[in-house]
Amino acid sequence: MQRRILGLAIAVVTVAGAAGCGSSSSSSGASASSGGGKTTEVKVGIIPIVDVAPLYLGDKKGFFSSRGIKLKMESAQGGAAIIPGVVSGQFQFGFSNTTSLMLAQTKGVPVKSVVNGAASNGKVGADVTGVAVKKDSSIKSAKDLAGQTVAVNTLQNIGDTTVRESVRKAGGDPSKVKFVEIPFDQMPAALDGGQVDAAWMGEPATTIAKAQGARVIASPFAETDPKLTVATYFTSAKVMQENPDLVKKFSEAMAESLTYATEHPDEARQILTSYTKISGDVLEKLILPSWPAEIDMASLEKLAALGEEDGIFGDKKPDLNALFS
């Protein structure tokens, strides 16, 4: 599915170039911001998970409006689905896992990471994502996932890549894991109903599944690298070229938001109620990621090497410096 989406993104670039559709939707927000003092509506493609809490919190605290930016968030199933939206101009910025961005770059999709998004908190057994199984499952560790069906939100992204690494480190055969796509919010029910043997979940899905009796048997992010840069906010080469000032303002506001969320975790937790249906015990118990303002390049080098080992990038290697710095 991800290859189809990225193929669509490349097609969009080609069609956009041929049609010359540059001055309308693809940079509508950017052009409005060039006039002094004007407010720019900026659309951001996101996944409605805990990781993007700083974006909403920063919006509430005025970090974006003080820079003339009016945010409009639009949801998608995963980072791979957001990429073509950014390239086509549907969004000015997007939130994506770093593996999807690497894959897009190797396919020639013109994207550029502009600011950090989220990272592993480094806690094995209590990270922001985990592989969960039913309470009575015979699966006891990541090694036992070989030969089993595991749900991820999108294929060929950071989920299956890091799950394979957990299996590998536990002594199992990662090539024998069967991955299937299921949206995060549907994973607890799919696991409880026996549609899959295990599910790699982000929050709040993990906490919901645990309330149904599920057990977390692996923490792929933390097991891959305790400082793993999981996701970043990115834009298109077109927006970078046509409105660098907008990119600068968005990046500064987002960095301020990440720092504020790190320093005020209770406020970050509470902001989740504004864009999810999380409440009560789930809100109190769910695990937060780390929100460093800086990208950890060493962790991305490790992630890229794993993607190469798994054959995700074909015969091309991602240029991490060009993409993330």
Q: Where are the domains of the chain?
A: 2-120+227-324, 129-224
Round to whole Å and give the CA distance between 109 and 97: 15
Class of domain 129-224: alpha beta
Looking at residue 81, what is its pLDDT?
78
Looking at residue 16, what is its pLDDT?
30
The structural architecture, per CATH, of the domain 2-120+227-324 is 3-Layer(aba) Sandwich (3.40)
Looking at residue 15, what is its pLDDT?
28
Q: Which residues of the chain carry a pLDDT beneath 70?
A: 1-37, 77, 79
Looking at residue 213, what is its pLDDT?
96
Please determine whether the domains at 2-120+227-324 and 129-224 fall in the same fold group of CATH.
yes
Over the stretch 101-152, which tens digit does the pLDDT of each residue have? 999 999 999 999 999 999 999 999 999 999 999 999 999 999 999 999 999 9
Over the stretch 54-74, which tens digit does the pLDDT of each residue have? 999 999 999 999 999 999 999
Q: Cβ atoms within 10 A of the Cβ of 20, count?
A: 8
Query: For 13, what's the count of Cα atoms within 13 Å in the CB-facing half-sphere?
Result: 19
Looking at residue 154, what is its pLDDT?
86
- The DSSP secondary structure of 17-59, one letter per residue, reads HHHT--SSGGGHHHHHHTSTT--EEEEEEE-SSGGGHHHHHHH
Looking at residue 325, what is its pLDDT?
86
Is 188:209 a contact under the CB 8 Å cutoff? yes
